[in-house]
Structure formats: C-alpha cells, structure tokens
Amino acid sequence: MSDLSQAAVAAKQNPTMKDLVEAQRAAIERQLGGAMNSDAFVRAVLSEITKQPKLMSADPKTVLGGVMLAAQLKLEIGSGLGEFYLTPRREKGRDICLPIIGYQGLVKLVLRSDAVLNIQTAVIREGDDFTFGSDARRGIFHEWAPRDFDESRRMVGVLATSQMDGGGVSWAYLTLAQVEARRPTPWESTPWKTHPEEMAKKTVLRDLAKRLPKSTDLGRALEADEQKVQHIKGMDEVQITQVDDEPETIVVNES
C-alpha cells in the first residue's frame, strides 16, 4: 500500500474534528436552506476550531451539535461577528463545546418576528440618571438621561427596549449584579471575558425576548443558548441538555 493510501486509511479510521465537520456538509447545507453560503459557513467553522485547540479535542458530538444549531438558526459562527460562538468547556474531566449565541445573533433572531419592529439596548453607566417606576397614567415606565457618552465609565446596568407592530413598547432592565449572576460557570474562557458589554446587552435582551412574540428560531435559541447541544450521527437531530443533566432529544426540523 502506498504512503498516500495508508494516510487515507488512517484519516478514515481516526478522523480529525475538521474531517468530521467536512463529513456533515450535506446536513449543514440542508439546515441553512439556501439562506447562507454553505461553503463559507463551513470555512468559518473550521477557522474557529483551528483557533481554539481545545475544540479540536472536544467531544465531537458537542462540537457538531453547536455547528448544526448555528446552521439551523442561520447565524454566522465567528468571534468577530458577534452572532454565534463555539466555546470550550470542561465537563467531568473532558472537553466539550458549549454554543453561545451572541448579542448580534439574538438581535437578528428577535427581529425575525413580524410583531417586533425595532430593538434597542443601552449600557447604563455610573453617573447616568436612570429611574423607573409605575403610575396610573404611564403604567410601568423608565427614564434615562446619560451624563455623557464616555464609555470608560463603569457599567451599572443594561436596558433593552422593543417597539411592537401594534404601537406598544416593551422593555427590560438588569443591574450589573443581575447580569453577572447569569454568566455561565466558568465564564473566563467565553465571550463574557472578551466582550463583556456585548454579552451584558445580550443578557437583558434575552430577558426581554421571553416576553415577546417568538419565531420558531428564537424559541429554539432561548432553549439551547449556553447549553450542551449534541449531534446524533446520521440524523439531522440534536440533543439539548443542561451540562451534567440527562438528555432530552430535540428534533431539528429541516427547512
């Protein structure tokens, strides 16, 4: 057998993470449903895996589960885009992949509902005049007057507002302590470390999104965000579980 043939046999018997991703091209393309270029999507996936050595050795089901989830949601993977992250995490002595939906990705998903016309978020900083309350005329209200636009001032909270098709406005506010209490554990190797304010805005938007009309994609995203998602070999199906919990099988519907 030639050296080239031996190498091919070895690759088939011991596929790398890149080989496993490449083998899922057809399934990825089905999930994208023409909304994105599948070749560009796979290239972005391989680039992210290459940047993070722990993903190369992580449980393949969790890496492929994250990839398939991003494809189903039609979100681009990549730390520079802010839509969807593949992050390594340690569980029971092994590396797994934890998918994290970014702020830009969650905005995109919320706006897929025809009932939501606009989304805005703001970081409330130390020194800003921010109050909220309730009265008979305005109902539950908030008022925010930033002291200035100096982004070096310490964040003390985050605000998200949505304008609805019927003319109403919904909003949510979280203090910094409430935001930090919702970080995954550990969070130091996730976008919470590299993009803390973006993740804070995503957290308050996620809180608001629970009360908004939901598309199927948004409902799935809220369920799977920062949970363990596993791909089942040979099927366009994933399992979404809390880390260390028993799996609940969730079928990924083809477009």
- Please answer whether residues 63 and 53 qualify as being in contact, where contact means their C-beta atoms are separated by less than 8 angstroms: no
Nearest to 121 by CA among 159, 65, 95: 159
Nearest to 85 by CA among 208, 244, 205, 192: 192
Residues 6+ apart with CB under 8 A from 172: 159, 160, 204, 205, 207, 208, 211
- Please answer whether residues 159 and 73 qualify as being in contact, where contact means their C-beta atoms are separated by less than 8 angstroms: no
pLDDT tens column, 123-151:
999 999 999 888 888 888 889 999 998 99
**Average pLDDT value for residue range 82-99:** 88
**Average pLDDT value for residue range 166-172:** 88
**Average pLDDT value for residue range 16-37:** 91
d(CA 207, CA 201): 10
Tokens of 118: 């606009």
Strand partners for 238: 231, 250
**Band of the pLDDT at 187, cuts 50, 70, 90?**
confident
Whether the CA torsion 39, 228, 231, 9 is positive or negative: it is positive
pTM of the model: 0.80
DSSP structure class, residue 201: H
DSSP structure class, residue 77: B
